[in-house]
Amino acid sequence: MIVKSVMLALTLVGVLGVQGSTGDCPEFPYQPTNYQEDNRGQFHFSSRGGWMNDVNAPLYYRGVYHLYYQHNPHGLAWDTMHWGHPTSTDLVHWRQKPIALEPGVHPGDLWSGGGVVDTGNVTGLKTGDDDPIVVYSGTDGVTVFYSLDGGNTFKSFDNGRKVVKPPAKTSRDPKVFWDPDSRRWGMVVWSDQDGNGVDFYTSTNLLDWSFASRYQGDWLFECPDMVRMPLDGASHWVLSAGSGEYVVGDFDGTTFKTSWPTPQKINQIDTYAGSDYYAALTFANLPANRVVSMAWQGGNHGSTWTGNASFPVEERLKSTPSGPRVLSTPVPEIASLRTSTQSWKNLTLDSAAARRLLAGVTADTYELDAVVDVRQAKQFGFRLHTSPDGWFDKDVVYDASNGLLDGAVMPAHDGKVKLRLLVDRGQLDVFGNDGEVYQSHNVNFDSLPGGDGVELFVDGRIQLESLRLHELGSIWKNRSESTLSTNIAGLWYPASGTWSDVAGGKQGESSGDAFYLSKASGADFTYEGDVKLASGTAAALTFRANKDASKHYTVNLDADAGVVKLWRPGRDIATSPLTVERGRTYHFKVVAQGPSLKVSLDGKQAIDATDTEQSAGQFGVNVFRGTGVFQNLRIS
């Protein structure tokens, strides 16, 4: 497969363009889908089309979560790796973006890797307002790619030079992390030199790396992660493998050490490449030392896609009698998906009463959490997606006699256990005792009518302290694919003109004025974005608009008049001379404070004006008698 991938990559060099530039690639936009195919997860991310495997370089930057992943957009099986790319503003609702790394445009085999945001510009690569986003890929040596537009498009560093030279044997899957104690960056890379293990490298500038040490472990096979977590007033390091096996230890800036003789598992299922949990990575650059992880689930597929990402979990260390353990729970942002809730409290239930409790409940995608006293029970659990004939798609069982949740050790605490389930169309996540047990499964839940019941079953007697069932809405509902990168949370809509998604962003065309608006609004703010007049007269940022843009402020590039102009209906407020180049991208920044309206273009002030007509309103973009392309719209 590697030979086949390399040959295809070489073939595509002439088709897709030169290194460092993004062409009009056939991969994007993807074929239309409403994400409602049978078995397609409704709150687990899956690629709009094509094959998905390992999570790559998850990171957070200026209000946006970026998830990259191993991707074959041309088929439903592994072949010719690209880096797919969705983004989210809440870790829950994801939007598919254009390919981030692609053969022919970017050198190398583009296999799995990690990435960080260079907030201090230690690379020296920064040229504008955006911090460089630096990602690492490659097998048998590491190559670097960097983005200067917020993680959307990437260039190769130094024409694809290997910044880490190949070791004696196979290596791959670089993951980069920051060590605040040594004030250096670290990189962990899997290799099989003298058996499975990882090599550690260090750097002060993210570009020049020095070998530091090696940690050996038969269990430590590919896709390593290295993350720092607090526990009991101290910091510890967690080193994990693609299987989710991990050890906790110390890192002195060059060497990792642990007293653990054997690893533990983050996810307590049988994990291997292609299983229902593999190749998890933690997000870089999260605020407040938050640790969030996502993995690849390989057992989900349909007619247009293969594989999905696990629902993001928040990880923390907890002290136990056996030592520190990683606990995982769903990110709290899941609450935004809850559309309705049913609850039950303080009930004593035997087998018959338990079976009657949920007899009238039906649900398709939902979250279920329960607190149960099991001191009088042999076992209890839930049967999911039941039908009147007694069929069910999956059950989750707590064995109270042996303290096991679906085979994973989970003792009761003071006679009680907590159980939390996330039930999707093609996925089931099981959490026990606030994350002591975490299991993820691909399950083909029957989405047809008549098979969406839920049943509580008991052997013996339980005291049901609480039970809640939250129905969860779809992350795809009322959300179409968009290439527009923005942290403006409101729903966007075309107020006039023709608007479409192209590789470079959101494109508008009109023979007159056309507006594309967000429902989000503001009064005092900084609003900035990239504006390109592809053809015609003018392209612009719009702000303080009403819903149909009959009232607004707009600052545009007017190629016919040769000016930057700030205007509103009925008045041209101010202009500044500029020879506008069609096809060039300009960066606008608008600072609105009461009647004061200041406009900068490419970092230089162009307009300083006042106007009292509009004190607040919606954000948007505008094109006039031509075609404009807009990207990286941000408010602060």
Neighbours of 128 (CB within 10 A): 12
* 82 bridge partner residues: 71
Q: Which candidate, 252, 247, 298, places its Cα nearest to that of 275?
A: 298
What whole-number distance in Å separates Cα of residue 331 and Cα of residue 314?
Answer: 5
Strand residues in 148-284 grouped as ranges (E): 155-156, 171-179, 184-191, 197-203, 210-216, 225-231, 234-240, 245-251, 256-257, 264-265, 278-282
Catalytic residues: 54
* 224 bridge partner residues: none
Beta-carbon contacts of 167 under 8 Å, excluding residues fewer than 6 positions away, are: 140, 191, 193, 199
Q: Whose structure tokens read 């006679």?
A: 415
Q: Which candidate, 294, 333, 291, 334, places its Cα nearest to that of 314?
A: 291
DSSP letters, 343-377, are EEEEEEE-HHHHHHHTTT-B-SSEEEEEEEE-TTE
Residue 317 sits at the vertex; the CA angle it makes with 316 and 321, to the nearest 5 degrees, is 145
Q: Which candidate, 525, 531, 610, 542, places its Cα nearest to that of 573?
A: 610
Q: Which candidate, 112, 55, 440, places its Cα nearest to that of 265?
A: 440
* CA quadruple 187, 190, 191, 197: dihedral sign: positive
Residue 493 · residue 482 · CB < 8 Å:
no
Q: Whose structure tokens read 């694919």?
A: 481
What's at 550, amino acid-wise?
Answer: S
414 φ, ψ (degrees, to nearest 5): 55, 40
Q: In this structure, are strands 256-257 and 245-251 parallel, antiparallel, or unpaired?
A: antiparallel
Residue 346 · residue 439 · CB < 8 Å:
no
What whole-number distance in Å separates Cα of residue 279 and Cα of residue 192?
Answer: 17
Q: Which candidate, 503, 506, 611, 499, places its Cα nearest to that of 555?
A: 611
Q: How far apart are the first and last CA of the chain?
A: 47
* C-alpha atoms less than 13 angstroms from C-alpha of 96 in its C-beta half-sphere: 27
